[in-house]
C-alpha cells in the first residue's frame, strides 16, 4: 500500500501495513501488527488497537490542524516511534498500554503522556503536562514537563540527563541507577518535591547529581 487516508473506522483487519504517508481520521483495530512506514498525521482523536501485537511508526507522527489525542492499546506488543513525535504539531493527551513503548527520537506534546508498561526515551521530551510510566523506564535524554513526572518501576539513566518540571513533583517509586557507566543527573522542580523511594545507585552509581 502506498499513501493511505483512513476516514472511517477499520475493525476487521488482521494486519495493516502502509509504505507511504498515512492520514489517520478514524480508529483502527487489528488482531495483528500495524506498521506505518511514512509520515503519519492525526486528523482527529484516534484509538489504535491490536491484540498483543506491535505498532510501529517508522517516520514522524504529528497532529493535523490542532492537537489530537492518541490512545494505543497493544497488550503484550511493543509500540515504537522511530521518528520525531509532535515536531510539527504536538499531540494532545496520549495514553499507551503495551509491554513496552520506545521513543527513539524527540517527543513534543501539549497534554498528558501516560504509559502503562515499560518505556524507553531516546530523544528529548517536552511540552507535555504530566508524565507517568507504570513499568521500568530507560531515560537517555532530557525530559521537561509542566506538571508531574511519576516513574513507578525501576529507572536507568543511559546518558547524563536533566529532568525538569514547573513547580511540580518528580517521584521515583523504585530504584534509580546508571546504565553502562555512571551518568550525571540534574533535576529542577521549583516548588515541587523530588522523592526517591527505592535505592539510588545500588547497581551502578550516578555521577554528579544536582537537585
pLDDT single digits (tens) 123-154: 999 999 999 999 999 999 999 999 999 999 99
pLDDT score for 12: 79
User: What pLDDT score does 168 carry?
Assistant: 98
C-alpha cell, 123: 530523544
Q: For the whole model, what pTM was predicted?
A: 0.97
Name the strands in the sheet holding 61-63, side by side, starting at the edge strand that comes first in the sequence: 4-6, 22-24, 40-42, 61-63
**Mind listing the pLDDT tens digit for each residue in 101-123?**
999 999 999 999 999 999 999 99
The answer to whether 40 and 22 have CB atoms below 8 angstroms apart is: yes
Distance of CA 139 to the CA centre of its chain: 11
In this structure, the number of other CB atoms found within 10 A of the CB of residue 19 comes to 14
- Give CA–CA dist 26/128, Å, rounded: 23
Mean pLDDT score, 147-165 = 98
Helix count and strand count (H, E) for the chain = 0, 27
CA separation for the pair 142, 112 (Å, rounded): 17
Q: CB 24: neighbour CB atoms within 10 A?
A: 25
Which helix (DSSP H) or strand (DSSP E) does residue 113 occupy?
Answer: strand 113-121
Question: Cα torsion for 16, 82, 42, 149, to the nearest 10°?
Answer: 120
Would you say residue 69 has pLDDT above 80?
A: yes
Query: How confident is the model at residue 7, as a pLDDT?
Result: 95
Amino acid at each position: 500500500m502506498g499513501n493511505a487516508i483512513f476516514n472511517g473506522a477499520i475493525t476487521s483487519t488482521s494486519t495493516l501495513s502502509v509504505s507511504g504517508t498515512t492520514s489517520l481520521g478514524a480508529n483502527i483495530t487489528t488482531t495483528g501488527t500495524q506498521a506505518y512506514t511514512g509520515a503519519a498525521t492525526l486528523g482527529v482523536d484516534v484509538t489504535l488497537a491490536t491484540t498483543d501485537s506491535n505498532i510501529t511508526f517508522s517516520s514522524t507522527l504529528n497532529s493535523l490542524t490542532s492537537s489530537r489525542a492518541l490512545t494505543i492499546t497493544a497488550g503484550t506488543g511493543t509500540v515504537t516511534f522511530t521518528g520525531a513525535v509532535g515536531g510539527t504539531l504536538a499531540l494532545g493527551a496520549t495514553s499507551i498500554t503495551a509491554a513496552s513503548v520506545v521513543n527513539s527520537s524527540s517527543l513534543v506534546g501539549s497534554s498528558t503522556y501516560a504509559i502503562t508498561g515499560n518505556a524507553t526515551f531516546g530523544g528529548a521530551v517536552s511540552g507535555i503536562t504530566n508524565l507517568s510510566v507504570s513499568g521500568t523506564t530507560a531515560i537517555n535524554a532530557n525530559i521537561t514537563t509542566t506538571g508531574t513526572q511519576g516513574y513507578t518501576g525501576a529507572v536507568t539513566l543511559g546518558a547524563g540527563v536533566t529532568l525538569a518540571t514547573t513547580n511540580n513533583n518528580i517521584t521515583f517509586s523504585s530504584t534509580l541507577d546508571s546504565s553502562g557507566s555512571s551518568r550525571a543527573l540534574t533535576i529542577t522542580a521549583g516548588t515541587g518535591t523530588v522523592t526517591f523511594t527505592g535505592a539510588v545507585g545500588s547497581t551502578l552509581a550516578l555521577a554528579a547529581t544536582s537537585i
